[in-house]
Amino acid sequence: MTLPRLVPPATIDPSSTDALRAEVRAFLAEQLAAGAFTPSVDAWLSGWDETFTAAMARRGWLGMTVPPEYDGHGRTSVERFVVAEEMLAAGAPVAAHWIADRQIVPSLLKYGTAQQKSEFLPKIVRGECFFAIGMSEPDSGSDLASVRTRATQVDGGWLLSGTKVWTSGAHRAHAFIVLARTAPADPAHRHAGLSQFIVRLDAPGVDIRPIISMNGAHHFNEVILDDVFVPDAMVFGQIGAGWQQVTSELAFERSGPERFLSTFMLLAATAEHMATNPTARDSDLGRLVARVAGLHQMSSAVAGALQRHDPADVPAAVVKVLGTSTEGDIADYADLCAGGTGAHPALLELISVAVDQRPGFTLRGGTNEVLRGVIARGLGMR
């Protein structure tokens, strides 16, 4: 039996992006020297810093793939990948713009109307418009076809009612894209009758309730929609095509470098700790470095596939399963090697945050169990 190739071969010549990498590293060194940020693990999800976002915007590193007609920079997905990778490796606070830049930009370019593109893309490029994701619900996470948020057509638009949960950053974002049911569920066609809407988070009828994490952080929210009016102009894509649209959005959400670099800062700090504490040396460090290097190759290959508009849901699932497992293994490894020792307080803080965040790595954006099902399908095994 010959198994199909799951991840496309990497076709990008790394030397083509060396100059850009050097530029981003110089920027990060300047920002660090100026005390603009403290490097952190998982900073793409929890490091919300609008000043840092504005500094990136001034360098032209937001909405890089947005065409110039929408005030964008007309650069490639691979160039965006390079900037993202460098920011993540440095533990820079990129959470404010992350969702807008990662998945709203490509989704708007693919499915947005001219009006939606003109309204949102220039603001995203300037670092002035932040988005959240309204997919999960109290009884609907892995199985998004079961969402119960309902959209009912009225004069000039739609009325949305329902509850979204685990909505990262909704208390700070300007808008979110909501997946809602626009036709009754049909057991024979579970994925039919779903649609997406761009919903302003300050619209009447939107109630954002904080969900405080065990470490005291406010990151998650429950967002209750009570007859929220969404004008026809904010229907996103085609009514009834929500499932196909969400699937293509998830390829962007699952394959990026944030799926293997969330704890890279910690790996670097652990290596540093070992260099100065010879008794703590351990060869497993090399295994983790090798896994990160392999993931870099795979993830950049998927960035190339997305640039060519090739289907990427299966390779994205492979990157996410292997990448998020590696991120968690780095947290455990650092905790084992340096946690509880007389390590530098900054390293102990990174370990503590990584261990707190670890359970979320393999859940957010689709659980590893579910993604293994996607991979099995890609292999023709189910």
Ligand X SMILES: Cc1cc2nc3c(=O)[nH]c(=O)nc-3n(C[C@H](O)[C@H](O)[C@H](O)COP(=O)(O)OP(=O)(O)OC[C@H]3O[C@@H](n4cnc5c(N)ncnc54)[C@H](O)[C@@H]3O)c2cc1C
Min separation Cβ 251 and ligand X, Å: 15
Q: Is 84 exposed, middle or buried (0-12, 13-18, 19+ CB in 10 A)?
A: buried
Q: Is 4 exposed, middle or buried (0-12, 13-18, 19+ CB in 10 A)?
A: exposed
Q: Residue with CB nearest ligand X?
A: 141
For ligand X, the closer CB: 127 or 365: 365
Total of residues contacting ligand X (CB under 6 A): 19
Binding mask 96-135 for ligand X (x = CB under 6 A): ------------------------------------xxxx
> Which has the closest alpha carbon to 180: 144, 141, 234, 138?
144
Min separation Cβ 168 and ligand X, Å: 3
Contact residue for ligand X among 65, 77, 103, 168 (CB under 6 A) = 168
Min separation Cβ 285 and ligand X, Å: 26
> Could you identify the residue written with the tokens 């703590």?
280
Task: Read off the amino acid at residue 69.
Answer: E
Contact residue for ligand X among 17, 77, 136, 299 (CB under 6 A) = 136
The gap from C-alpha 152 to its chain's centroid, in whole angstroms, comes to 30
166 binds ligand X (CB under 6 A): yes
Min separation Cβ 220 and ligand X, Å: 7
224 binds ligand X (CB under 6 A): no
369 binds ligand X (CB under 6 A): yes
91 binds ligand X (CB under 6 A): no
Beta bridge partners of 157: 154, 231
Among positions 139-158, residues that touch ligand X (CB under 6 A) are 141-142
Among positions 338-367, residues that touch ligand X (CB under 6 A) are 360, 363-367
Min separation Cβ 191 and ligand X, Å: 14
**CA dist., res. 11 & res. 24, Å (int):** 22
Q: Which chain residues interact with ligand X by CB under 6 A?
A: 132-136, 141-142, 166-168, 360, 363-367, 369-370, 373
